[in-house]
Structure 1
Amino acid sequence: MRTFSFMLFLCLGIAASSQTTISGKIVDESNQPVPGANVSVVGASVGTVADFDGLFSLTIEQELPFTIEISSVGFDTADRVITGPVTDLIIVLKEGTELDEVVISASRTPERIFESPVSVERFGIKEIKNTPAADFYGGLENLKGVDVNTNSLTFKSINTRGFATFANTRFVQLVDGMDNTAPALNFVLGNLLGMTELDVNSVELLPGASSALYGANAFNGILFMTSKNPFDHQGISAYFKGGLTSQEAAGDNEYYDYGIRVAHAFSDKFAAKANFSYLRGTDWYATNTINVLDPSTDRSDPNYDGLNVYGDEVSTNIRGVGVALVSAGILPAGAENLLPNEDVSRTGYEEQALNDYKAESVKFDAAMHYRPFANDFEIIYQGKIGKGTTIYQGANRYSIRNFFLQQHKIEVKNNNFFVRAYLTDEDAGDSYDVRFTGININRKWKDDQTWFGEYAGAYVQATLAGQLPENAHALARQTADTGRLVPGTLAFQQTFQEVTRDPDLSSGSQFRDATQLRHADVNYNFSHITSEIADIQVGGSFREYKLNSFGTIFTDFDGPIRYSEYGAYLQIQKKLLEERLKLTGSLRYDKSELFDGNLSPRLSVGYTLGADKNHNLRASVQTGFRNPTTQDLYIGLDVGRAVLVGSAPDNLDRDRRTYDLSGNGAAVTGNQTVTVTGREAYENSFSASSVINGAPVQSEAALVQPEKITAFEVGYRGKISRFVIDLSAYYNKYSDFISTENVIVPLYGEVGDDGLSLLALQNGDAQVYQAYTNSAVDINSLGAIIGVNTKIFGEFDLGVNYTYAEQDFDKEKDADFRTNFNTPKHKVKASFGHTNLFTNFGFNTSYRWSDSYFWEASFGDGDIPSFSVFDAQINYKIPKLKTTLKLGGTNIGGDEYFTAFGTGYIGSQYYLGLTINNL
């Protein structure tokens, strides 16, 4: 027993003696603390993070001596050899430049941004804290080459290099490796299922084609958001922002945004974290009442169709109504001749009556990290849920209410590999189509046949009484609208609820959705084995879609639609000539079960110049491809102005619609109705532009195929004196460019018969379809970007960048094809600030100017005037409370603008924020 006790105490003594405690402070060259700096032990998975005052403490069970590494974004990394316990270690970090920052996205492996083979932008913790935007996601708008289209207070769509709508299917957003695209909508709902600001570790943006590494749809660019690891970033942090939004149409409205992060390492093997955030405010009102059919007229036009007015899309030829009334004996013979041969529309409701403009975002996520061997091998479970209310503008305006999106991921990784699998599940909640809400509220109150009949009868009576046509139209509308439901009344609200809870678009406006996406990918980096030869990586992915809209979006009325795709890639990277020359080659193969396989190669070369290696030249040629989206393939949706029909071969006969024929059509065919399938849009239709021009010809719309791009890019990064310069130029060649084409299907006859089909057009017995297809015309785009960052007047930060973008497309060769380039030719952005103007006080400002451009999308086409935006913030740190106060505003001055035709004008946003313990 005595021997056992002696051995026990001896072991404890040895264990105790093997523990080394070190503590100290991390400061910059101005002796200011560097909060959040990482302190790690080289060769071990042990580390900590400096607190708000730059202080750190670390107890290590490791034989002496060992080396610790100290790093922080924006500073050069420092090493210290530890030979024994120390409690007053002072580590001074030398400020680096943005060229020293490390990025991962460009090559799927850590490398200095200076040596990246392609263009890449980084938005780190420092930039997040200093952004004058109301949230970090909005701050991305200040990155060079980035376009942000604002659909809503809570929904901003990010894009690079042109060709974008709010349903931006050419741009991918990855959050901790998960694509957070809503699989049925085919686009990212801003930061709805993104990250809380407290948990963001870094944001990287890779503009341009990246299919060689990231597969389908990595076409225009990718946004990577990476969260903080709970082993490295522990503790409780929180923020609160409150303020107001100000818009001429909506007035001044309060908004608030708050969040909390909790993270703890229970041991060197297990750590966990949880995040929660909530935002609520009032959205930007959309109040544009321009007549989209004839902008030169106003509401006095009998066939008025206002842009942000809904229900007035329903129209008919009023003389045709008179003919039917005479045939039914309701009007006397000859009365039809008193009616004008023109279209008349029903009276619509403005958007404010159909949408409460509530903006809301609720996010929660949790993760458990397990390191079974206390080294870099890690097993992670991560779950994310997001619920929100926003506005989406696609073919129509949609009120996205209580939209729910969730993701669950399992990942196994170390420094050399990862294997991950995740599930994305969406639920449309109480979302509804604003246009069909207006249409069907009208129809619930009074059906179209009755309304137009009353209009025609009143017009005839007014004409017989000697009224001029203008007055006769006004009296006819007043008569037909007698008793119309008035917004704000109980009857209107009850009808509104009935319509928005009905998923049948013939009587309601709700859209339902429970679509899922399942994805798995793997990557292995052999560099630790093959570094003497080259750095080699291999990987692959698999994805399956399960479309389930219950027939409200897709043609899945008889059950879910499933299809899948997979891919594999290889990358080889080699440095030569004293590591000045860097060669990178990549190749990826992808296959969708609906299309042939596709190869995507990439080749890049970079060369570092100068005695101090301060200059880097790069050039690359890479390919990308984009599979048609779930909607391109399987949509079957009547949006009022057109029927959207996907072109998957098995979708063409799934879309079946029954139409009422005009009196003339019924006489010709002997039938009152006719059934049309989606196949007719591709096999029996006229080009819409040819019909408008009075010379109908058959449409050449073909079934959609994958879109391809070949991208050429050259660039330079370097430091000249105090100036950091980054410039690039690119040229993109597209083939089989995917977009939509409006076609007109005659309800009887065969296109080309020169008889019956033309008679159908003449009688108004035709339906507009929007076909998803490819352009046979060459479409190219080109652009250039230059950015300069420096310090002036001592330590003031100044950054300026300019972006040029243009498309090369001969519209005359394909008049019906819509490229949706939607990008200004010229953009200028600038920032000016100081992180420590005087003790604990800093500020930052940003300025953006955009050239005018033309917006082209299914909801509407129109000019976007040029605009200038100025944002600013001041901040004050309270070290004893580990707190930062931040006061700021966006679009200061309130010069309202908009980035897309049909959206609300963007006003000003002012906020006061409080952040506690965010390291």
Structure 2
Amino acid sequence: MLFCGVSYAQTTITGTVVDDSSQPIPGANIIVVNTSTGTVTDFDGNFTLTYGQNPPFSIQASSVGFETVTVEVLSKNQKIDIVLNEGTSLDAVVISASRTPERIFESPVTVERLGLKEIKNTASADFYDGLENLKGVDVNTNSLTFKSVNTRGFATFANNRFMQLVDGMDNSTPALNFPIGNLVGMTETDVLSVELLPGASSALYGANAFNGILFMRSKNPFDHQGISTSIKKGITSQKASGDNEYTDVSIRAAYKFSDKFAAKINFGYLKGTDWAAISEVDKTTPGGTRADINYDGINVYGDEVSTNLKKVVESDDFLSKLPNPALADLVPHVVVSRTGYNERTLTDYNAQSIKSDWGLYFRPWENDFEISYVGKVGTGSTIYQGTNRYNIDNFFQEQHKIEIRNDNFFLRGYVVSDKAGDSYDMVFTGININRAWKDDETWFGEYTGAFITATLGGANETQAHAAARATADNNRYLPGSDDFKNAFNRSINDPDLSTGSKFQDNSKYYHADANYNFSHLIDFADIQVGGSYRKYNLNSSGTIYTDLNGPITYSEFGIYTQIQKSIELNEEMELKLTGSARYDKSEFFDGFLSPRISAALTLNKDHNIRASVQTGFRNPTTQDLFIGLNAGRAILVGSAPDNLDRYTHTDGIYTQTGRVAYENSYTASSAAALAETGNPAVLEIANPDIVKPEQVSSAEVGYRGKFSNIIVDFSAYYNSYKDFISQEVVVSPYYGTVGDGSLSVQALANDDFQAYSTYTNSPADVNSYGASIGVSTKIFKDFDLSGSYTYAKLDFNREKYPDFTTNFNTPEHKFKASFGNTDLFENFGFNIAYRFSDDYFWEATFGNGIVPEFHTVDAQINLKVPSMKSIFKAGATNLLGKEYFTAFGTGHIGSMYYVSWTINNL
């Protein structure tokens, strides 16, 4: 009887939300206080809210730019008209900071947010690109459709320090273990809000939330019905690739069949041309050019293959062909590389994304108890830069989730799987087109023989090298020729990296998590408990991981709790204390406890001070543990104990396992010093330890406040890392034992060694610190003006540890500003966004180099047509047209010009 009484207890409320000029506010949030039950207003400011409890209770209406209003509901079927006075962004409600709804003003940690209003008014091409305008956020552009979001440093495109969740589901790909931007993510018409927590969030969200976490929430069909469409058409413009068409379409359809059942479906399509990467800067020799004999261009592939001419001339096969063995003395002790192909000859730069998702939502008792199934599929083509440059072609990812939830708990389980499609490594494509034409031994033999011949003919060394290359390259496959096309097609369809460049993958992971909030049962504090479990299944058929003989599986789990207590100190002052702790355990490592303590002191309704301290941790990734990939200049070998013997390498004469990288190796810098000085005393034994979890201790203070019509949000942090996970390049001699002083040294002198990139923990003290401040106000009555400044600094002794790379990859100074008016005149608005980035040093396995400072401006104008429920927009990104890049080795970012028509997107 009690069960039946609860199941039929419900209240339906209707009403409108308008501003102080009686204009409707579309997209305003209506939420039942202290719950997650809510809805939003439609285009005309109307709303209907059903709540599974009898009155009295309170509802809260909010919209960014307006003060939040709380209204008490006293009867069923009550009609409520709400007027919102102009307010500030501090009134927005967020969920991510404490896993419970709270005003951003009162949040105990730093939160950045994009709501419906900001998404509609962004000067960027879409909502995901709009994240780069948030305070303290870095968005590194890998390619047109693949951008990597990060905060507070330590980022590469393989950014596994930053988590990205879509409606609670991790959006990282199983094969790569990190998100690939929004390539197979959300459609813009279905985005409800985006929240971003900078810094360590391990205490609530686990190991991968080490540098920050991005939450994207979609619209529930019970609250957002109808058909919404966005059509965007324009061009991208870049010096290297010219002007090319750009199309972006998204469609959302949602219907509430009854108070018990609702459904939705989304579809998105994007097509354009990627930013072409054409740099010919030498990766290994500063100032080097294509005229150099050992040239290795950034975006030139095939020239990674090199050898010392002395090794060629001293081989028995070569010596036997010389008419006089003394001719071998004419050959210098120099390294020569093969001639490579420009990247643009190895890809079509097609940028495409096709994605769809659907959801079925069931509320059996017509209240907040909801059962849902969500499915997502996506495919696309893009460029990814990791150890090498990869053409991600027809990549496919799917997700399926079942979730049960109400205002006090959720229980969800989902699976994420991917397929590599027709993806391939462009570096190895160049290498193996060369080898398909002429194998390495033959090419270097012809080069060396021609060098001797030219020298005997009176040529100097430079002339002899030029003649040797011309001879060895005679009849080389030229881009566009049938021979080149046939070799290219064979390579990209062959997963054996000794002859091809295709990479295969069909990996997946299974994830389950749950959370229960006891606030409805306990009065003295808000208490939550939860946990998660994940199982990985890696299946790359040996093209990425050492899984040639079958999939690799392993698992991890975590449990956490949080207690939050608000203490009223007086009529105006309130102290909110939050304590949380999480325990995580991977089957390969000891468990780790991540506590967090935070306090937020509200001095009055206009000023709030916050502080927090916490520890976080990061488990080694799937690549840290199980990768086994020959990247050309070095071999990447993960350091899971059973991985060291599973990877083997053969150069034709000598065979090694991955174990030598960790147990019989010299540091790469000392091997280079030996080559320069000839002094064995400079050699340093490497033998790095196998990788273990990384830890961080983090402290943060912040302030949010309002001075008249000026809003200020400030935060500062200090992070100290222990067992910092990094890659160390080492060299392992083919014979001898490191430190023996003779045989292993001779191996290095003879170039009889292999370079490995190992995954280990740095013994160095790695610290980082920084601060951000954002200021926003209104000028000339109703013009919005805002700006932010971010400072970030790495504290690391690079001279003492030259072989460790931190991949900090963050400018020391960033400045962002925006200026706009949503109603310059009736139904017409505009927005202009400016970004400045200081120069910084980018380091990654693909290459290291300076990223110059840049300034860029995005702008848009928009016209609302209420009778058509439409918004028309015209915009441009990088309006100044000065091309720039955010990472060493990527294509330069040009401009985009577009017009869009959005219908019924609330």
TM over 0.5: yes
Aligned residues of 2:54 and 2:76 also touching (Cα < 8 A): no
Q: Which residue of 2 aligns with 1:676?
A: 656
Q: Which residue of 1 aligns with 2:430?
A: 438
Q: Which residue of 2 aligns with 1:629?
A: 621
- Distance of aligned partners of 1:175 and 1:486 in 2 relative to their CA distance in 1, 3 Å threshold: same
Distance 2:36 2:194 in 1: 23
Q: Which residue of 2 aligns with 1:894?
A: 881
Residue 674 of structure 2 is aligned to residue 687 of structure 1: no
Residue 537 of structure 2 is aligned to residue 546 of structure 1: yes
- Distance of aligned partners of 1:750 and 1:265 in 2 relative to their CA distance in 1, 3 Å threshold: same
Out of 578, 581, 585, the position equivalent to 1:584 is 578
Cα deviation, residue 329, structure 1:
2.2
Out of 776, 792, 802, the position equivalent to 2:789 is 802
Q: Which residue of 2 aligns with 1:666?
A: none
Out of 882, 899, 904, the position equivalent to 2:891 is 904
Out of 839, 846, 852, the position equivalent to 1:859 is 846
Greater CA drift, 44-53 or 576-585: 44-53
Cα deviation, residue 337, structure 1:
2.0
Aligned residues of 2:311 and 2:750 also touching (Cα < 8 A): no
Cα deviation, residue 24, structure 1:
6.5
Helix, strand or coil: the match of 1:510?
coil
Cα deviation, residue 299, structure 1:
1.2
Aligned residues of 1:64 and 1:84 also touching (Cα < 8 A): yes
Out of 98, 101, 105, the position equivalent to 1:110 is 101
Out of 405, 410, 413, the position equivalent to 1:413 is 405
Residue 235 of structure 2 is aligned to residue 244 of structure 1: yes
Out of 437, 441, 446, the position equivalent to 1:454 is 446
* Structure 1, gaps ≥5 residues long: 1-17, 661-672
CA deviation map 1:789-830 (0-9, x unaligned): 111110111111100000111112222111111100000000
Greater CA drift, 681-690 or 49-58: 49-58
Residue 378 of structure 2 is aligned to residue 386 of structure 1: yes
Q: Which residue of 1 aligns with 2:140?
A: 149
Q: Which residue of 1 aligns with 2:262?
A: 271
Greater CA drift, 234-243 or 181-190: 181-190
Residue 265 of structure 2 is aligned to residue 285 of structure 1: no
Instruction: Please give the TM-score of this superposition, normalised by the length of structure 2.
Output: 0.95
CA deviation map 1:340-382 (0-9, x unaligned): 2211111100000001110011110001110011110000100
Q: Which residue of 2 aligns with 1:770?
A: 757
Q: Which residue of 1 aligns with 2:208?
A: 217
Aligned residues of 2:64 and 2:88 also touching (Cα < 8 A): no
Cα deviation, residue 116, structure 1:
0.8
The structure with the largest alpha-carbon Rg is 1
Out of 531, 535, 540, the position equivalent to 2:526 is 535
Aligned residues of 1:331 and 1:457 also touching (Cα < 8 A): no
Where do residues 347-496 of structure 1 align in structure 2 (5 Å cutoff)?
A: 347-496=339-488
Cα deviation, residue 636, structure 1:
0.5
- Distance of aligned partners of 1:839 and 1:687 in 2 relative to their CA distance in 1, 3 Å threshold: same
Distance 2:584 2:515 in 1: 15
Out of 784, 806, 815, the position equivalent to 2:771 is 784
CA deviation map 1:812-856 (0-9, x unaligned): 222211111110000000011011110000011111001110001
- Distance of aligned partners of 1:45 and 1:307 in 2 relative to their CA distance in 1, 3 Å threshold: closer
**Structure 1 consecutive aligned stretches of length 4 or more whose deviation exceeds 4 Å:** 18-25, 38-49, 55-71, 80-87
Out of 584, 595, 611, the position equivalent to 2:589 is 595
CA deviation map 1:483-541 (0-9, x unaligned): 1111112221111110000000000001101111111011000011112x211110011
- Distance of aligned partners of 1:70 and 1:575 in 2 relative to their CA distance in 1, 3 Å threshold: closer
Greater CA drift, 93-102 or 404-413: 93-102
**One-letter identity of the residue aligned with 1:29:** D
Distance 1:564 1:34 in 2: 47
Cα deviation, residue 254, structure 1:
0.7
Distance 2:138 2:11 in 1: 51
**One-letter identity of the residue aligned with 2:603:** L
Helix, strand or coil: the match of 1:136?
coil
CA deviation map 1:148-167 (0-9, x unaligned): 10000000000000011000
Residue 237 of structure 2 is aligned to residue 257 of structure 1: no
Helix, strand or coil: the match of 1:811?
coil
Distance 2:34 2:338 in 1: 74
Helix, strand or coil: the match of 2:548?
coil
Out of 608, 613, 620, the position equivalent to 2:602 is 608
Q: Which residue of 2 aligns with 1:699?
A: 686
Aligned residues of 1:46 and 1:268 also touching (Cα < 8 A): no
**One-letter identity of the residue aligned with 1:679:** R
CA deviation map 1:11-48 (0-9, x unaligned): xxxxxxx9999977532123332123356789999986
Residue 877 of structure 2 is aligned to residue 868 of structure 1: no
**One-letter identity of the residue aligned with 2:851:** I
CA deviation map 1:529-573 (0-9, x unaligned): 112x21111001101111110011111111001110111111111
Out of 32, 36, 44, the position equivalent to 1:53 is 44
Greater CA drift, 186-195 or 822-831: 186-195
Aligned residues of 1:66 and 1:83 also touching (Cα < 8 A): no
Instruction: Please give the TM-score of this superposition, normalised by the length of structure 1.
Output: 0.93
Distance 1:67 1:632 in 2: 50
Q: Which residue of 2 aligns with 1:557?
A: 548
Q: Which residue of 1 aligns with 2:3?
A: none
**One-letter identity of the residue aligned with 1:172:** M
Aligned-residue sequence identity (percent) comes to: 63
Distance 1:20 1:110 in 2: 21
Aligned residues of 1:25 and 1:90 also touching (Cα < 8 A): yes
Q: Which residue of 2 aligns with 1:818?
A: 805
Distance 1:722 1:72 in 2: 17
Helix, strand or coil: the match of 2:135?
coil
- Distance of aligned partners of 1:392 and 1:481 in 2 relative to their CA distance in 1, 3 Å threshold: same
- Distance of aligned partners of 1:329 and 1:740 in 2 relative to their CA distance in 1, 3 Å threshold: same
Distance 2:101 2:59 in 1: 20
Aligned residues of 2:52 and 2:368 also touching (Cα < 8 A): no
Aligned residues of 1:586 and 1:603 also touching (Cα < 8 A): yes
- Distance of aligned partners of 1:497 and 1:742 in 2 relative to their CA distance in 1, 3 Å threshold: same
CA RMSD of aligned residues (A): 2.2
Distance 1:19 1:625 in 2: 44
Out of 169, 172, 184, the position equivalent to 2:175 is 184
- Distance of aligned partners of 1:331 and 1:702 in 2 relative to their CA distance in 1, 3 Å threshold: farther
Greater CA drift, 69-78 or 337-346: 69-78
- Distance of aligned partners of 1:834 and 1:807 in 2 relative to their CA distance in 1, 3 Å threshold: same
Aligned residues of 2:237 and 2:896 also touching (Cα < 8 A): yes
Distance 1:164 1:66 in 2: 46
CA deviation map 1:682-740 (0-9, x unaligned): 11000111111221121041100000000001111111111111101100010000010
Out of 845, 859, 863, the position equivalent to 2:832 is 845
CA deviation map 1:722-760 (0-9, x unaligned): 111110110001000001000000001111111111111
**One-letter identity of the residue aligned with 1:537:** Q
Greater CA drift, 797-806 or 335-344: 335-344
CA deviation map 1:625-665 (0-9, x unaligned): 000000000001100010000000111111111223xxxxx
Helix, strand or coil: the match of 1:760?
helix
Q: Which residue of 2 aligns with 1:3?
A: none
Distance 1:576 1:635 in 2: 51
Distance 1:43 1:347 in 2: 66
CA deviation map 1:218-246 (0-9, x unaligned): 11000000101100000000010010111
**One-letter identity of the residue aligned with 2:314:** V
- Distance of aligned partners of 1:108 and 1:346 in 2 relative to their CA distance in 1, 3 Å threshold: same
**One-letter identity of the residue aligned with 2:248:** D
Q: Which residue of 1 aligns with 2:718?
A: 731
Q: Which residue of 2 aligns with 1:198?
A: 189
Q: Which residue of 2 aligns with 1:570?
A: 561
- Distance of aligned partners of 1:768 and 1:63 in 2 relative to their CA distance in 1, 3 Å threshold: closer
